[in-house]
Amino acid sequence: MPNRVKRCIKRFPWQDQWQIISVLREFEIDPWQGDIAKINKKENTWRMRVGSYRVFYSIQNQAKVVEVKEIERRSSSTY
């Protein structure tokens, strides 16, 4: 996970941190589970809802890699 994502998570309340981290650990098992949606404007970018937060990530199937790009608090401009 990129350092910028780790720093972002540390700014959230600890209950939310725990919830987001547990979802990120589940990515190792199956990145296609949960409340996900493809982001149409960006190539190979997906969004997962985690409470009031949105996790944006990409999946590289052949390399079996999930890259977390961004985690944002939900707003009117966040899907």
CATH number at residue 30: 3.30.2310.20
What is the reported pTM? 0.79
Please report whether residue 8 resides in a domain.
yes
Using alpha carbons, select from 38, 34, 46, 51 the residue that is nearest to residue 70: 46
79 within a domain of the structure (yes/no): no
**Confidence at residue 18, expressed as pLDDT on a 0 to 100 scale:** 92
Please enumerate, as own/partner, the contacts of 70-73 that have beta carbons within 8 Å and a separation of 24 or more: 70/5, 70/8, 71/5, 71/8, 71/9, 71/20, 73/12
Mean pLDDT across 48-65: 85
Is the per-residue pLDDT at 28 higher than 60?
yes
